[in-house]
Amino acid sequence: MGLQAGGSLFVSLNDVNHIHSICNIIAQGTFTIEPALCKTIYAMLLQAKALNQTVGIYYNGASFNCGANPNWGGVPSAYYVEIK
């Protein structure tokens, strides 16, 4: 997990591949998640990482496939993040 200089929040799916952005803390653009919520999600992810907790990220669209994520690309369909 990390932030790009342009404000995009990037996450990884259990490995060093499938790194993608789920929202942007500066501008909404095509993302479902608004910037204010993106900042909250970033704080949640930092907490989860510090406490070694599992996180769930949910995406809209029946055609979404974790293995087909664009590496280092945006996946604007993320809509929900939870600490499990």
Domains of the chain, by residue range, sit at 2-83
Res 10: pLDDT = 94
- The label of the residue with tokens 């790009």 reads 4
Bridge partner list, 24 = 8
Strand 8-11 with 20-24, pairing: antiparallel
Q: pTM value?
A: 0.87
Mean pLDDT confidence for 32-43:
97
**Contact criterion met (CB below 8 Å) for 22 and 33:** yes
Res 64: pLDDT = 63
Q: Say which residue, 48 or 14, is predicted with more confidence.
A: 48
Sheet-wide strand order for 20-24: 2-3, 8-11, 20-24, 73-74
Q: What is the CA radius of gyration of the chain?
A: 12
